[in-house]
Structure 1
Protein backbone atom coordinates (compact mmCIF):
# COMPACT_ATOMS: atom_id res chain seq x y z
CA UNK A 1 0.00 0.00 0.00
CA UNK A 2 1.23 3.49 -0.83
CA UNK A 3 0.22 6.55 1.17
CA UNK A 4 1.06 10.21 0.87
CA UNK A 5 3.41 11.11 3.73
CA UNK A 6 3.88 14.81 3.13
CA UNK A 7 3.21 17.75 0.85
CA UNK A 8 5.82 20.49 1.12
CA UNK A 9 5.45 23.81 -0.68
CA UNK A 10 8.26 26.30 -1.17
CA UNK A 11 6.85 29.80 -1.50
CA UNK A 12 8.30 33.14 -2.59
CA UNK A 13 6.84 34.55 0.65
CA UNK A 14 6.19 31.78 3.15
CA UNK A 15 4.26 33.96 5.60
CA UNK A 16 1.96 35.22 2.83
CA UNK A 17 1.38 31.64 1.66
CA UNK A 18 0.62 30.55 5.24
CA UNK A 19 -1.97 33.35 5.48
CA UNK A 20 -3.53 32.18 2.20
CA UNK A 21 -3.65 28.57 3.40
CA UNK A 22 -5.22 29.60 6.71
CA UNK A 23 -7.87 31.58 4.82
CA UNK A 24 -8.54 28.45 2.76
CA UNK A 25 -9.14 26.51 5.98
CA UNK A 26 -5.73 24.88 6.54
CA UNK A 27 -4.77 25.53 10.18
CA UNK A 28 -1.02 25.96 9.70
CA UNK A 29 1.07 26.62 12.80
CA UNK A 30 4.57 28.04 13.18
CA UNK A 31 7.08 25.20 13.43
CA UNK A 32 10.84 24.73 13.75
CA UNK A 33 13.00 21.64 14.17
CA UNK A 34 16.21 22.03 16.18
CA UNK A 35 18.26 24.58 14.21
CA UNK A 36 16.06 24.42 11.07
CA UNK A 37 14.21 27.38 9.59
CA UNK A 38 10.84 28.64 10.70
CA UNK A 39 8.11 27.15 8.54
CA UNK A 40 4.37 26.57 8.78
CA UNK A 41 2.88 23.09 9.09
CA UNK A 42 -0.12 20.98 10.01
CA UNK A 43 -1.12 17.33 9.94
CA UNK A 44 -4.12 16.84 7.63
CA UNK A 45 -5.58 13.39 8.16
CA UNK A 46 -2.13 11.84 8.52
CA UNK A 47 -0.44 13.89 5.79
CA UNK A 48 2.21 16.38 6.91
CA UNK A 49 1.61 19.65 5.03
CA UNK A 50 4.32 22.29 5.28
CA UNK A 51 5.15 25.66 3.74
CA UNK A 52 8.73 26.94 3.64
CA UNK A 53 10.00 30.32 2.53
CA UNK A 54 12.01 29.66 -0.65
CA UNK A 55 14.14 32.75 -0.14
CA UNK A 56 13.63 33.85 -3.74
CA UNK A 57 10.84 34.97 -6.04
CA UNK A 58 9.18 32.47 -8.32
CA UNK A 59 5.93 31.69 -10.04
CA UNK A 60 4.24 28.32 -10.50
CA UNK A 61 3.15 27.19 -13.99
CA UNK A 62 -0.47 28.00 -14.81
CA UNK A 63 -3.49 25.79 -14.25
CA UNK A 64 -3.12 22.45 -16.05
CA UNK A 65 0.31 23.42 -17.48
CA UNK A 66 3.17 20.92 -17.52
CA UNK A 67 4.95 20.91 -14.19
CA UNK A 68 2.03 22.45 -12.32
CA UNK A 69 0.34 21.08 -9.22
CA UNK A 70 -3.37 21.31 -8.54
CA UNK A 71 -4.14 20.63 -4.87
CA UNK A 72 -7.74 20.25 -3.79
CA UNK A 73 -9.11 20.76 -0.30
CA UNK A 74 -12.40 19.83 1.32
CA UNK A 75 -13.57 22.52 3.73
CA UNK A 76 -16.44 22.57 6.19
CA UNK A 77 -17.79 25.83 4.74
CA UNK A 78 -17.22 26.86 1.13
CA UNK A 79 -18.80 30.24 1.86
CA UNK A 80 -16.48 30.97 4.80
CA UNK A 81 -13.38 29.98 2.82
CA UNK A 82 -14.49 32.09 -0.15
CA UNK A 83 -15.11 35.15 2.04
CA UNK A 84 -11.70 34.82 3.72
CA UNK A 85 -9.90 34.39 0.38
CA UNK A 86 -11.82 37.31 -1.13
CA UNK A 87 -10.70 39.43 1.83
CA UNK A 88 -7.07 38.57 0.99
CA UNK A 89 -7.68 39.56 -2.64
CA UNK A 90 -6.91 36.06 -3.95
CA UNK A 91 -7.82 35.76 -7.66
CA UNK A 92 -10.73 33.43 -8.40
CA UNK A 93 -9.90 31.31 -11.46
CA UNK A 94 -13.21 29.44 -11.66
CA UNK A 95 -16.27 30.56 -9.74
CA UNK A 96 -18.68 28.40 -7.75
CA UNK A 97 -19.62 25.20 -9.60
CA UNK A 98 -21.87 22.30 -8.67
CA UNK A 99 -19.99 19.03 -9.14
CA UNK A 100 -21.00 15.38 -8.50
CA UNK A 101 -19.18 15.41 -5.14
CA UNK A 102 -20.49 18.80 -3.95
CA UNK A 103 -19.49 22.32 -4.91
CA UNK A 104 -16.18 24.00 -5.60
CA UNK A 105 -14.35 27.08 -6.75
CA UNK A 106 -10.76 27.41 -7.92
CA UNK A 107 -8.53 30.14 -6.52
CA UNK A 108 -4.94 31.16 -7.24
CA UNK A 109 -2.43 31.10 -4.39
CA UNK A 110 0.22 33.83 -4.01
CA UNK A 111 2.73 31.87 -6.13
CA UNK A 112 0.26 31.24 -8.95
CA UNK A 113 -0.78 27.67 -8.12
CA UNK A 114 -4.42 26.84 -8.76
CA UNK A 115 -6.11 25.47 -5.61
CA UNK A 116 -9.50 23.75 -5.68
CA UNK A 117 -11.71 24.47 -2.65
CA UNK A 118 -14.52 21.92 -2.23
CA UNK A 119 -17.42 21.31 0.11
CA UNK A 120 -19.35 18.07 0.15
CA UNK A 121 -23.15 18.42 -0.05
CA UNK A 122 -23.02 22.20 -0.60
CA UNK A 123 -25.93 23.40 -2.72
CA UNK A 124 -25.57 27.20 -2.60
Structure 2
Protein backbone atom coordinates (compact mmCIF):
# COMPACT_ATOMS: atom_id res chain seq x y z
CA UNK A 1 0.00 0.00 0.00
CA UNK A 2 1.27 3.45 -0.89
CA UNK A 3 0.08 6.31 1.29
CA UNK A 4 0.85 9.93 0.44
CA UNK A 5 0.05 13.06 2.39
CA UNK A 6 -2.35 15.29 0.44
CA UNK A 7 -3.62 17.94 2.88
CA UNK A 8 -2.25 20.07 5.72
CA UNK A 9 -4.52 22.58 7.47
CA UNK A 10 -3.52 25.07 10.14
CA UNK A 11 -5.63 27.62 11.95
CA UNK A 12 -4.84 31.28 12.32
CA UNK A 13 -6.16 34.12 14.42
CA UNK A 14 -5.33 36.52 11.54
CA UNK A 15 -5.50 35.02 8.05
CA UNK A 16 -3.88 37.94 6.24
CA UNK A 17 -0.86 37.98 8.58
CA UNK A 18 -0.37 34.24 8.21
CA UNK A 19 -0.68 34.29 4.44
CA UNK A 20 1.83 37.15 4.27
CA UNK A 21 4.28 35.14 6.42
CA UNK A 22 4.07 31.98 4.32
CA UNK A 23 4.35 33.93 1.07
CA UNK A 24 7.96 34.66 2.09
CA UNK A 25 8.69 31.00 1.25
CA UNK A 26 7.38 31.46 -2.29
CA UNK A 27 3.93 30.01 -1.62
CA UNK A 28 1.08 31.42 -3.72
CA UNK A 29 -2.33 31.33 -2.04
CA UNK A 30 -5.83 31.78 -3.33
CA UNK A 31 -8.95 32.55 -1.33
CA UNK A 32 -11.52 29.77 -1.04
CA UNK A 33 -14.87 29.09 0.55
CA UNK A 34 -16.70 25.77 0.38
CA UNK A 35 -20.47 26.18 0.66
CA UNK A 36 -21.29 28.03 3.88
CA UNK A 37 -17.88 27.27 5.40
CA UNK A 38 -15.38 29.93 6.39
CA UNK A 39 -13.30 31.88 3.93
CA UNK A 40 -9.77 30.51 4.02
CA UNK A 41 -6.59 30.48 1.93
CA UNK A 42 -5.07 27.53 0.08
CA UNK A 43 -2.05 26.72 -2.04
CA UNK A 44 -0.75 23.57 -3.66
CA UNK A 45 2.78 22.33 -3.10
CA UNK A 46 3.38 19.50 -5.53
CA UNK A 47 0.45 17.17 -4.66
CA UNK A 48 -0.18 18.57 -1.18
CA UNK A 49 -2.77 21.22 -0.43
CA UNK A 50 -1.74 23.60 2.37
CA UNK A 51 -4.64 25.59 3.84
CA UNK A 52 -4.92 28.31 6.44
CA UNK A 53 -8.32 28.53 8.12
CA UNK A 54 -9.54 31.13 10.58
CA UNK A 55 -9.64 29.97 14.17
CA UNK A 56 -13.25 29.66 15.28
CA UNK A 57 -12.27 30.40 18.89
CA UNK A 58 -9.55 33.00 18.34
CA UNK A 59 -7.07 30.55 19.86
CA UNK A 60 -4.60 28.47 17.88
CA UNK A 61 -3.16 25.02 18.65
CA UNK A 62 0.57 25.59 19.24
CA UNK A 63 1.30 21.86 19.00
CA UNK A 64 1.22 21.88 15.22
CA UNK A 65 4.68 22.00 13.66
CA UNK A 66 5.26 21.98 9.94
CA UNK A 67 8.28 22.11 7.69
CA UNK A 68 9.16 23.21 4.18
CA UNK A 69 12.06 22.49 1.87
CA UNK A 70 13.28 25.83 0.53
CA UNK A 71 15.79 27.00 -2.04
CA UNK A 72 17.63 29.90 -0.37
CA UNK A 73 17.36 29.47 3.39
CA UNK A 74 19.62 32.38 4.34
CA UNK A 75 17.67 34.81 2.17
CA UNK A 76 14.33 33.69 3.57
CA UNK A 77 15.54 33.94 7.19
CA UNK A 78 17.04 37.38 6.53
CA UNK A 79 13.76 38.56 4.98
CA UNK A 80 11.75 37.23 7.92
CA UNK A 81 14.13 38.90 10.39
CA UNK A 82 13.83 42.28 8.63
CA UNK A 83 10.03 41.96 8.72
CA UNK A 84 10.15 41.31 12.48
CA UNK A 85 9.31 37.61 12.59
CA UNK A 86 10.87 35.43 15.29
CA UNK A 87 13.84 33.28 14.33
CA UNK A 88 13.89 30.38 16.80
CA UNK A 89 16.96 28.64 15.40
CA UNK A 90 19.41 30.31 13.02
CA UNK A 91 20.43 28.47 9.83
CA UNK A 92 23.02 25.80 10.46
CA UNK A 93 24.10 22.57 8.85
CA UNK A 94 22.37 19.44 10.14
CA UNK A 95 22.37 15.81 9.03
CA UNK A 96 19.33 16.63 6.86
CA UNK A 97 20.73 19.79 5.22
CA UNK A 98 20.93 23.43 6.25
CA UNK A 99 18.09 24.01 8.73
CA UNK A 100 16.41 26.87 10.57
CA UNK A 101 13.28 27.15 12.72
CA UNK A 102 11.10 30.25 12.55
CA UNK A 103 7.80 31.20 14.15
CA UNK A 104 4.70 32.25 12.25
CA UNK A 105 2.44 35.07 13.50
CA UNK A 106 0.28 32.58 15.43
CA UNK A 107 3.21 30.95 17.18
CA UNK A 108 3.53 27.79 15.05
CA UNK A 109 7.13 26.66 14.80
CA UNK A 110 8.07 26.19 11.16
CA UNK A 111 11.13 24.22 10.12
CA UNK A 112 12.87 25.38 6.96
CA UNK A 113 15.28 23.00 5.30
CA UNK A 114 17.60 23.71 2.41
CA UNK A 115 18.62 20.39 0.94
CA UNK A 116 21.82 20.25 -1.08
CA UNK A 117 21.23 19.01 -4.61
TM-score (norm. length: structure 1): 0.81
Hey, what's the Cα distance between the residues in 2 that align with 1:56 and 1:83?
33
Matched residue pairs, number?
Answer: 116
**More deviation, 21-30/99-108:** 21-30
SS in 2 for 1:117: strand
The Cα RMSD (Å) is 1.9
User: More deviation in 5-14 or 82-91?
Assistant: 82-91
- Deviation sequence 1:55-98 (CA, Å, 0-9, x none): 4432443xxxxxx1221101111122112212321111111110
Distance 1:56 1:87 in 2: 30
Do 2:77 and 2:87's aligned partners in 1 also have CA atoms closer than 8 Å? Answer: no
CA distance in structure 2 between the partners assigned to 1:84 and 1:38 by the alignment: 28
Structure 1 partner of 2:45: 44
Unpaired runs of 5+ residues, structure 2, are none
CA distance in 2, matches of 1:55, 1:90: 24
DSSP 3-state at the match of 2:65: coil
Which runs of at least 4 in structure 1 moved beyond 6 Å after TM superposition? none
Q: State how 1:1-124 maps to structure 2 within 5 Å.
A: 1-61=2-62, 68-121=63-116
